[in-house]
Structure 1
């Protein structure tokens, strides 16, 4: 989900959609400056300052990771005294005055920004119950198309990759889980009998806003090379077929850049 923020109406939408990020916390703050070369003076001049704040929060039964990109920043401050923690949010405040957006991320104004416009990008997934097996890795993808992957498609892709798996559907969830489409476990066929102590739990759900789908892959059980490969192959095949955004921890990665990111980091999702 992406939304451009420029006006008072946009700010009202932001506060209503996020609940003001109540009880969330800031996981990352980045600032970048763009400079241009001025031929008349022979110097580089500041052209734009961008500040990006990543926030993790929960609302309406969903875990959300939001990236607020503020461009045209003219005033920015972050101040944290020893022993203090300004990353925890109660509820942010925002206003639009004289064509400028102002954000106070905490009551004391220790994290504060003034900008010309902002852009919100967000990935949301249902709250997941604690699984009895250890969770070794998690990968989330938010797709733009209305139709997401099917069980048969996942099984076919794994067969072609040389790691055939069996599928067992999970128990039906509560009727109130209206976004849920289907959920179950993929287990490599080499696992003996009905042993399901090592598997990839797959959950597919509908988009919170408009068209789209979400999918969460979780590697469960003891450390196992084949299970890790199942998760990695599925992540690669999903990003190749569908456009969208990946989420690893609180890091958002455009789907088209996923394989490059994984190769650069040299590891599977965590």
Structure 2
């Protein structure tokens, strides 16, 4: 019902959160994106509303879902790099730079899993590198979660933190200090483990990941945070503290199950596995799947 460019403009606004960012990615004027999105929404009988910093569509999306399926297949069959890859704030930059052949990258700044999974299920994006084990959903009839590696999660702090010079820590040593948290329920299993140590006490209010609102808060030299060895490649300037959280996380590639046989998905998976394997030689605590 609509052309490739028209639907790409709508999807990029949903994905990148703004017409300006969509226009920059698609190399056109913002006014062009706005005008064509108005026409596309009218064609499908939809409205676009802003909710919690994200654009959402209102109305019957049956025809849009059918159209997206066709356009997604075009991306996979095209010789151009059109397939859309999103990633966590560290999974994306660490594992998808440079961008694997045939793919284009996303914003790398979603907080939590809900929005990337929504974009994936609705075929706005084609794959997602998520970093949120043990809270990553299980594979189902619609999505497949492929583990790339597992990594311990460390308790970290600014090098000037009073605990940074200690050789051993007990839970009571942590109690006087604030520790970063996200909204309750966003990562229930991870939250429960951290709360069992008396952590996860100080909310970081951010609709999207920004360094100054997360690891930047540790610059006060009292706030505690958490990071895997891969996250520490993005969250620079943090020191691992000698305290065992008993928490394992990792990286996973998440794709729609019906796309698994696509050559570009298989090539992406091969590329990510190769990059993780190289990282594991540098960082021995990375555990590769058997």
- Higher strand proportion, which one? 1
Same fold by TM-score, threshold 0.5 exceeded?
A: no
TM-score for both structures, normalised by structure 2: 0.26
Q: Report the structure number with the largest CA radius of gyration.
A: 1
- RCO higher in structure (CA 8 A, sep ≥6): 2
TM norm structure 1: 0.27
